[in-house]
Amino acid sequence: MSTLTKKQKQIYNYIEKYIEKKEYSPTFEEIKGHFGYSTLSGVQEHIDALVKKGMISKNRYNARGIELNRKDEMASILLKGTIAAGVPIEALEEYETITVPKTLLSKSGNHFALRIKGNSMIQDGVFDGDTVVIRKQDTAENGETVVALINDNEATLKKIFRVPGGFKLQPANPEIPALMVKQLVVQGKVISVMRNYEMRRTISENLNLLIFTDELRQLITKTQEETKQEFRPNQEFKIWLQTENKPDQDKFCLETAYTFLNELLLLWVCKDKQLINFEIIENKQQLTDLKQNAQEIYSHIFTKNIFDWYNPSSFLLQEITNSFNKYDFSHIDRDILGKLYEQFIPTEERKRLGQFYTPETVIDYILDQIGYTTNIGNKKIIDPSCGSGGFITRATKRLIQASKEKNNSKAIIEKVVNNIHGLDINPFACYLAETNILIQLIDLIVEVKKENPDYEMPKIKIFQTNTMETPSLLSGEEQEIRDIKNRSGQFEKGFDFVVGNPPYLEAKKMDKETKKLCKEACPSVANGAFDLFVCFIDKGLRLLKTNGKLGYIFPNKFLIASYAKNMREELLNNYSIKEIIDVSECEIFKNVSVYPVILIVENKKPKNNAIRTAEK
């Protein structure tokens, strides 16, 4: 709610004149053409700013849905600075004038505004960085939120209560104690609150991402502690146990915390993309209602799942609101939660599961080397051990970028759904992978829904399954999984690209069922003291179509281990090895005692197989 920038004023004036002349608003394309923008994102940014400043309203499902807010419905008041302990309001000499809707003012009296610093009133929906509208008055009733001057020169915003011998100034935050004072001066009463959108940090900037990641890590810890306190054995936990070899209540609570925060993060992304409307989430019922509304965007993520047993406290929801509202998620395209999840899984658990995170530089290198760069619009790619989706998320981003010039938004979405595939045994990892790809598609969904509000996003092809096991025929989804694994149906020709960082797990550490499945699925390589990643190499090669390419990263012991001899001979005799890069000296995996190599092969008869070594 501040004055318009020069460009915002120009766009506002253009819209105003356009409506006066034609009696309907211009489209984004027309605004783009008039001002010479190369893409619609620049227009979107300024329109969003005008909406947030109260100058216009916009129907996101109508291409000509811009409406001007009448100027006589706005008023100018003084912004008298920031209210914080030790800063006397009246001592501030320079004031700023801001424009606010008249609906935020009371019917009578003089008003001013203050910017909030601190978290003492979050349970009343007043967050750090917000702006509050104050009506000047020197009296107040018990329980009203006031600006009070104490100790002659310290201003604070609290609820006021008269008590014997003085006053109690009560914060709306159970972690902050009340102030007891004998005397105070009431300077005004809070009338309304405005969210601060102007000072929000862009999450796509690295420094802001680091700050947000640290805040998110703290919220994960708080949420996990709350889930542990609330947890009682339930039906959802019993279902979850069926996917785990070694049941761990703490891990269930951690995954519950992550799913909860992942849903909230995705809701904020949808909000900043203007797909749903809300400002704060105060309680579980509001969260449930928002998730119900969000099913219109992509039903599969927001449907009820085994982690919905958790009932978050209202205070925690308000803390999260306070944190998330400080950031602009409209340009988010990173696997934030997936990376954090890697940090929270105990080292021994990660070793047992063979789970190691793949740096983005490695993913991009492998995608480059297999040729997933140009002419990829109709090429199928799969990661048979996708985890939280590192490879397929980066592949999705490339496919979207490569398809923009010749395809509309709906066609691009269909290309992603039809050509990007991921398999993983862990249901929570699949949930994260699906979310990360959905984030890449959000802008396209916005565009499609403008033309067709009833558009239903098809399911992203991430499947929770054991790659070593072929499912029984129980549903349409399982039929598709079976076709993928057996190279049948629509997948008869195989995949153009197979990528991944397969799990590393020695046979001696496997449970009996996993070892049995490996021997049945990969009899030529699952013998002796084999490792699980060799079975994934075997599976990956069999998924390749003729002239298709595979790009994997796995331990360098593959080059010398006796159990991998058959696999090495298979590669040398039947595949064209583009490169085997020993990166064990590069230390690309920090804090992991695994020395990796990158393998790039093509499914065609070899001519001159060679090995390259990368220097440190």
Q: Where are the domains of the chain?
A: 6-69, 72-194, 200-332
158 as an active site residue: the answer is yes
* Distance between CA atoms of residues 396 and 363, nearest Å: 12
pLDDT at 93 over 50: no
Which residue, chain included where needed, has tokens 């605004």?
A: 31
pLDDT at 150 over 60: yes
Strand partners, 79: 96, 113
Whole-number average pLDDT of the chain = 83
Number of residues in the chain:
616
* Averaged pLDDT, 160-164: 93
Which one of 150-154, 453-457, 597-601 scores highest in mean pLDDT? 597-601
The set of residues, in sequence order, having a beta carbon less than 8 Å from that of 429 and lying 6+ positions away, is: 386, 387, 388, 389
**Lowest pLDDT segment from 50-54, 226-230, 250-254, 601-605:** 50-54
Measured CA to CA, the distance from residue 474 to residue 37 in angstroms comes to 51
Candidate list 25, 32, 120, 189, residue with the active-site label:
120
- Does residue 166 or residue 247 have the better pLDDT? 166
Task: Say what the pLDDT of residue 346 is.
Answer: 55
Q: What tokens appear for 334 in the block?
A: 């990173």
User: pLDDT band at 616, cuts 50/70/90?
Assistant: very low
CB 55 within 8 A of CB 12: yes
Residue 262 clears pLDDT 50, i.e. is over it: yes
Dist. CA 133–CA 104, nearest whole Å = 7
Which of residues 226 and 352 earns the better pLDDT score? Answer: 226
Task: Say which residue, 177 or 331, is predicted with more confidence.
Answer: 177
Q: How confident is the model at residue 92 (pLDDT cuts 50, 70, 90)?
A: very low
Q: What is the mean pLDDT of residues 394-419?
A: 92
Per-residue pLDDT at 69 exceeds 50: yes
Beta-bridge mates of residue 112: 78, 134
Domain 72-194 has CATH 2.60.40.420: no
Q: Residue 226 — pLDDT band, cuts 50, 70, 90?
A: very high
Contact by Cβ (8 Å): 82, 114: yes
- Examine the pLDDT at 165 and tell me if it is beyond 50: yes
Reported confidence tier of residue 118, pLDDT bands at 50, 70, 90 = confident
| pLDDT (0 to 100) of residue 23 | 81
Is the pLDDT score of 353 beyond 70?
A: no
- The CA-to-CA distance between both ends of the chain, in Å, stands at 53
Residue whose C-alpha is closest to residue 109's, from 144, 135, 133: 135
Least confident range of 233-242, 501-510, 566-575: 233-242
* Residue 404 pLDDT exceeds 90: no
Query: Cα–Cα distance between 36 and 29 in angstroms, integer?
Result: 10
Residue 592: the pLDDT is 56
**Residue 222 to residues 265, 343, 360, 478, 505, Cα–Cα distance (Å):** 16, 16, 29, 37, 32
> Is the per-residue pLDDT at 233 higher than 80?
yes
pLDDT for position 392: 95
The pLDDT, as a whole number, for residue 379 is: 95
The pLDDT of residue 32: 85
Residue that wins the pLDDT comparison between 345 and 574: 574
pLDDT score of 108: 87
Q: Which residues contact 22 (CB under 8 A, 6 or more apart)?
A: none
Mean pLDDT of the region 337-357: 54
Q: For domain 6-69, give the fold.
A: Arc Repressor Mutant, subunit A (1.10.10)
Q: Which of 32, 80, 158, 450 is catalytic?
A: 158
Specify the range with the lowest mean pLDDT, choosing from 249-263, 440-454, 464-478.
464-478
Q: Report the interhelical angle of 206-230 vs 249-272 (nearest 10°).
A: 130
Long-range Cβ contact pairs of 87-96 (< 8 A, separation 24 or more): 87/154, 87/155, 88/149, 88/153, 88/154, 88/155, 89/114, 89/147, 89/149, 89/155, 89/187, 90/149, 91/153, 96/2
> For residues 151 and 185, what is the distance between their CA atoms, to the nearest angstrom?
9
Alpha carbon distance 575, 246 (integer Å): 38
Q: What is the pLDDT of residue 24?
A: 84
Q: Is the separation of the CB atoms in 526 and 473 below 8 Å?
A: no
* Single-letter amino acid code for the residue at 273: K
Residue 46 in tokens? 């300024």
Residue predicted with more confidence, 80 or 475 = 80
Q: Is 232 exposed, middle or buried (0-12, 13-18, 19+ CB in 10 A)?
A: exposed
In what helix (H) or strand (E) does residue 94 lie, and over which residues does it extend? none
Q: How many other CB atoms are there within 10 angstroms of residue 119's CB atom?
A: 19
pLDDT per residue as tens digits for the range 358-368: 788 889 999 99
> Which of 48-62, 142-156, 493-507, 568-582 shows the lowest per-residue confidence on average (mean pLDDT)?
48-62
pLDDT given for residue 160 in this prediction: 93
Q: Which of 316, 477, 332, 409 is nearest to 40 (CA)?
A: 409
